[in-house]
Chain A
Amino acid sequence: MVVNSIPSAAGTLRPSALSAWAERHFKWLIVAPAVILILALSIYPLLFSLWVNFVNYDFEIPGHDFVGLQNFETVAADPIAQSALLLTFVLSVVNVAIEFVLGLALALCMVKSFRGRGLAMSILIIPLFISPVIVGQSWTLFLQRPFGPADYILSAVFQRPVDISWLSDFPWYYVAIVIADVWQWTPFMFVILLAGLAAIPQHLYEAAELDGLSTLKTFFYITVPQLGPIITLAVTFRLLDAVRLFDVIFMMTGGGPGTATYTASYYLYQVGFQQFHLGVANAGSWIFLILLSIVIMTLVRRLLKAERT
């Protein structure tokens, strides 16, 4: 198509010195803007943040004295940090697992054409476009006693009084957080998995049908293996975001009751930007990053490798 129309035009051009230079360094020139921007905005913060690890940086204590490893010790010894880390791990796994199952189910429902599919699709991706801060507040309005309608609806459905304190009773605050997170992120799983399903070659299914495979068997012998790499991708991307769970906690429970819903990110925010112990929060972020990086390295390297083969 386009290819045929170009040579004559391009061939007659005499490349100037500049364009020759640009041509020679093409591959570096086109990475330059992105690399420069990232360097500009990451080198200094990175060095600064390394420095802050080892000094006093606290809005309540003037001065920046060298404190050695004290910031790290403070975080490591804080029982809230430990429980927050554990909760982050558990919530991430639970959230991503539920979102994956629901997302896959939705994708299977939606892969076939039907009337109203476009509308359903439009509705399903709405949560993706809403700020998590707003999502958290919406669910708070919906669930919070005594004015939220959730308990009222449940009472009507079950025909007996339901009064659950969604945001302050164990274990309902965990349920509420999972609901909000699932509401927001299932669409992400769904979109990616749907794309994956749509890319499975049709002839595989036709063959399966000819062989008389049952629906269940077709799903496990064809769909799942074909979907494998996409599942890795979707779960990886989602997991990397899930471990940062912050906004929903911020709006819904504020980490409470007590410190029951502190996640790592919320803990760091609280220490750094509500209590203003930036040195400690910074050291905490590095510990968190280092712990995470083991997971990140494995997953990202695998993704990159998958791309390269």
Chain B
Amino acid sequence: MNEREKRDFNAGLAEEVDAWLRGDTSRRSFLTKLMLSGAAAMLPGLGWTAAGNKAWADTVDLSKLDLADPSTPLGKAQADAMKASTEAPQDGSAYRAVQAAKQYSGATLNMTYEAGLQALEPKNFSGPVWEALTGIKSNVIELPHPDQYSKPIAEHIANSGAYDILDVEPAWIPSLANGGVIIPLDDYFAKYINKADLEDYHPLYKAMPTYKGKTWGFFDDGDQFALYYRKDIFEDPKLKDAYKAKFGKDLEVPKTWDDYSQVAQFITDQLAPNVYGAAHFRKFGSPGNQYSFLQQYRANGGKFFDDGDFHALIAGPEGVKTMEQMIAQNKASIPGNNDLDAVAAWVAWLQGKVAMLFSWPPTGRMTENYSQSAKAINFVPQSVIAGKAGYAPIPGGNGEHATGYAKCIAAGSPNEEAAYLYTQWTTSPPLSLVRVMLPYALRDPYRIAHYTSPLYQSLWPSAKDYLYNLCECSNQGVVDIIMPGWQDFALSLDRMCTAVWGGQDPKEALQKAAAEWDATNKRLGLDVQKAAYEQFKKLPGSYADNTIEKLGQSVKLP
């Protein structure tokens, strides 16, 4: 069985058994159907296994691939991607990559991916399609998130050439580049890529995989935080009147962090226990604390390190203010706020229990029940608030681009060029559009072509607003601390926040975290860190005064 048949079979099996459990089907017809579907699944399965050893040309049959119904937007996007890979435009990055890669037919590319949902995309879609197009096989190595950093380094030390393509956080790139684990791609760019496809990245993301004047990967996942709010609640006349009476101003979607806490508290006071003002994922490792702190700290004007003696500045007045605001947010939020992880926060939002949620882009797709259309692998409940969500920039104006992914090529890869070509192909505009549109994928829009895609915009009525808001958030967005030591910095912040939620004095916790930051820099070498910090400061989105917007590079969509 190939992936598609397998999933059809699973979905069918699950449906049959469930129907029987509900009593919709009699036991006899259930058993008959079960056996039939089992046999139906086995037969092509056997055929597939037998054919598996034949040359790729024999098995190229696009009907075998896991493609969506051609009448759906996703199906159309897939058809466009196929066309771009095999017919035209011939100067497109996708076409060029496929053509150049055919010489490597028979090779196998080993690529790391986060285990679980993320890995379904290359296993079900891009891997098999690439194989059908070029004869190059792909192996998906599923790793837990932190291991996506450590395993490539361990393999690098072992000099095993085990991995070709690495899916990594952009914030890891400086460490990986310094350690010689990944290679710069500039020469390949010159050889293969269509420059227009490079320019099509949102400028925030275009700059992110660069370090020391070179480009070390293809950006591949726009994890931009944005604010999602309930239009019906914010437009409720009774609430609006009450708010005006109490605060003397209109009830609006908050634009500053102080407004955010005030509005959240107001809604909680008015509507609890049916609806609360907000939810945040603030459990240890959830992983929300570090991102919340970093975006707010920078919106409050904070800087990370002293330009003179390089000591950490987070315990300064901006840090204290940020912690106070975050404590106010927790207080104004759903009970158990500090125990939520990212998924639990989504569930609370989808069940209509909260009026505001800032989180990653899948929020918008789940709200409209688009993500849930992949029934067999769904992990969040049906949304009861479809059509009721509004989209806004993060209060304070500087939403975190939290994590994201970039695809890099491992140094010592035995298939370096083929690996590069796959990466160019899969991140090219037509292919990446499909991948950010897959309902079960957790990859999020990052190209201008994604924001402006009529197909994406047609997925639900307000999809265009959603995409435009993501673009606007990226214009104002700030990025993670893209320099060596990022894991340590983030861990210190997460510990600091949870310690404060647990009752520790904020000032004391901030000082402890600042001391940990200093120790991290000292351990990694002050000179190395200073140099890396200078690089970081130049990145768009390093600080509130250095966003794409402030640099005058904002993407303004028609």
Contacts and interface: CB of A to CB of B under 8 A. Distances in A.
A165 interface: yes
Contact of A169 (B146, B284, B347, B502): B502
Nearest to B509: A258
Nearest to B152: A59
Interface string A189-208: 00000000000000000000
B52 interface: no
A277 B524 CA distance: 10
Interface residues of B, number: 40
Interface in B477-531: 484-485, 487-488, 491, 494-496, 498-504, 509, 523-525
A256 B523 contact: no
Contacts, number: 96
A167 B179 contact: no
Interface stretch (A10-18, A85-93, A143-151, A214-222): A143-151
A272 to B, nearest CB: 9
Instruction: Please list the 7 inter-chain residue pairs (A to B) with the smallest Cβ-Cβ separation, ordered nearest first.
Output: A258-B499, A256-B284, A145-B336, A146-B336, A257-B502, A257-B498, A254-B285
Interface in A144-197: 144-147, 163, 165-170
A276 B153 contact: yes
Contacts of A169: 502
B143 interface: no
B502 A170 contact: yes
B259 interface: no
Contacts of A147: 344, 347
Contacts of B504: 258
Most buried by A among B336, B501, B509: B336
Nearest to B146: A274
B179 to A, nearest CB: 5
A273 interface: yes
Contacts of A253: 284
A168 B335 contact: no
A169 B503 CA distance: 8
Most buried by B among A60, A253, A255: A60
Interface string A106-120: 000000000000000
B546 interface: no
- Summarize B's interface: helix, strand, loop or mixed: helix
A147 B381 CA distance: 13
A62 interface: yes
A274 B491 contact: yes
B175 interface: yes
Given A59-B179, A276-B153, 10 more contacts: A59-B175, A60-B485, A147-B344, A168-B501, A256-B499, A257-B498, A258-B498, A260-B502, A274-B491, A277-B523
A54 to B, nearest CB: 16
29 contacts: A59-B149, A59-B153, A59-B154, A60-B179, A60-B524, A62-B180, A74-B523, A145-B336, A146-B335, A146-B344, A146-B348, A163-B335, A163-B336, A165-B339, A166-B339, A168-B338, A170-B502, A170-B503, A256-B495, A257-B502, A258-B495, A258-B498, A258-B499, A258-B500, A258-B502, A258-B509, A270-B491, A276-B149, A276-B150
